[in-house]
Amino acid sequence: MADTTQISPDTTSEGERTDLGRAADKARIGAPSDTVDTRAVIDGFTEEGESLPGGDDGVEQLGFKKHSHGNAPVVPEASRGERRRSFDLADFPTLTGLEEDWRFTPLKRLRGLHTDPLTGAAPAVSVTGAGNVTVETVDRSDARLGASATPEDRVAAAAWNAFTEATVITVPRETVADGEVMVAVTGTSPAAAAQHILIHAEAFSKAVVVLDHTGSVTLAQNVEIVVGDGAELTVVSVQEWDDDAVHVSSQQAKVGRDARYKHVVVSLGGDLVRLTPSSIFTATGAEVEMYGLYFADAGQHLEQRLLVDHAVPNCKSRVTYKGALQGQDAHTVWVGDVLIRKAAEGTDTYETNRNLILTDGARSDSVPNLEIETGLIEGAGHASATGRFDDEHLFYLMARGIPEKAARRLVVRGFLTEVIQQIKVPALEERLSESVERELAAGNL
């Protein structure tokens, strides 16, 4: 293998060619193409992915259009890895909406999460399920809090500084949780509030933790996740909020040696939900899977910004997010940042985002970003496609005898089921399937 990024000729994509910093040393893909002057075009690199082995091919097919970037004029940071991290709110300037990481978020609908003191009552937390998992409510002075995650944006920093007590869930060393850990987070007040939850799967433990968000809130939340060496942890974050809820949540995971971490997002309810899940590899041999499913109705803003930080060698990551949209001004945002740092030789990563637009008036933004600082990797790629279910699809299915409503449901169910099946908690899978059906019914589909 050469000392440059491993690339095979892209035979499928016809997307624009993208800048690649200076030849081999550093490749940033997905950055707006007017920000780099000196650029080398490398065969096989396009906005749509690099056609490296082992991934989705990113072919543009009828009904699916490749992603495009939003129109907002923004100056991206030089590298995703250089983004500011701090517990001090003063380190994050007041938001204007022009920041790269806030440009899609309608700030005026945050109900003050980014400007006001977060003094409201935090939503109630109730943990049930596994008996051999430790659940504590601790004071903010507890030394474990903040040990593994540092805020990366203003709202996360505000939440860090405002919470009064935190919930700490610990799966003890070498323990297999005797059931799913269900964490019910129930909002009862629309006053802006902060919350901190720490989930720690100690070495060689195994557990599934479900954060089940319901009710009404204006919430800035930090979920700090530690996956110990050899541990196997699944965290599912379900957002079935009431229609008025505003939820901004940073869900940072530190993933230890040979660990297996799976993170699943299901966002269905709420007025504005903005999740920033990240997986940071701290030692070799670990594998991360990140899945997401979101279904935006009229007026809903559902945003997810991911980071997979390959800072160490020989780790593997897969990201699969799927979204459906229906109704006027339904808006979804998916930004997937994958960073392969200089030291992360042997990295194997692929991320994909697919969106399905069911009606006119909806908008889906999808931006995969891949930064590669070493060429000595197994594979790296991404794909993004947004398709619409239009009259021709409907005609085709109806011409085979399938009634209109059933045809629409068939398409959406088929599209989203892939993600629901990843949860592996049958009762929750069933509940979420029903929720998706209700979404469809609500949209008069």
Told to check if 403 binds another protein by CB under 8 A, we report: yes
Place of tokens 């939850």: 197
Place of tokens 């997010």: 321
CA 186, 191, 192, 195 torsion-angle sign: negative
Least distance in angstroms from the C-beta of 400 to another protein: 4
Among 133, 344, 356, 436, binds another protein (CB under 8 A): 356
Binding mask of the shown chain, residues 158 to 197, with x at each position contacting another protein by CB under 8 A:
----------------------------------------
Place of tokens 């892939």: 418
Least distance in angstroms from the C-beta of 51 to another protein: 15
Least distance in angstroms from the C-beta of 322 to another protein: 9
Three-state SS across 162-219? Answer: HCCEEEEEEECCCCECCCCEEEEEEEEEEEEEEEEEEEEECCCCEEEEEEEEEEEEEE
Which residues are registered as beta bridge partners of 353? 321, 384
Least distance in angstroms from the C-beta of 56 to another protein: 11
| Closest-CA residue to 383 (of 18, 47, 69) | 47
Least distance in angstroms from the C-beta of 391 to another protein: 7
Among 392, 430, 434, 437, binds another protein (CB under 8 A): 392
Told to check if 143 binds another protein by CB under 8 A, we report: no
Least distance in angstroms from the C-beta of 390 to another protein: 9
CB-based burial label for 231 (10 Å; 0-12, 13-18, 19+): buried
Cα-to-chain-centroid distance, residue 105: 15
Angle (deg, nearest 10), helices 391-398 and 404-420: 110
Single out the segment in contact with another protein by CB under 8 A; choices: 101-109, 183-191, 327-335, 407-415. 407-415
Least distance in angstroms from the C-beta of 49 to another protein: 16
Footprint of another protein on 46-105 (CB under 8 A): 59, 61-64
Segment (H or E) for 411: helix 404-420
Single out the segment in contact with another protein by CB under 8 A; choices: 126-134, 190-198, 240-248, 392-400. 392-400
CB 275, CB 245: distance < 8 Å:
no
H helices of 319-373, where? none
Q: Looking at beta carbons only, is 72 or 410 nearer to another protein?
A: 410
Footprint of another protein on 296-355 (CB under 8 A): 354
Q: Applying CB under 8 A, which residues contact another protein?
A: 59, 61-64, 354, 356, 387, 389, 391-393, 395-404, 406-407, 410-416
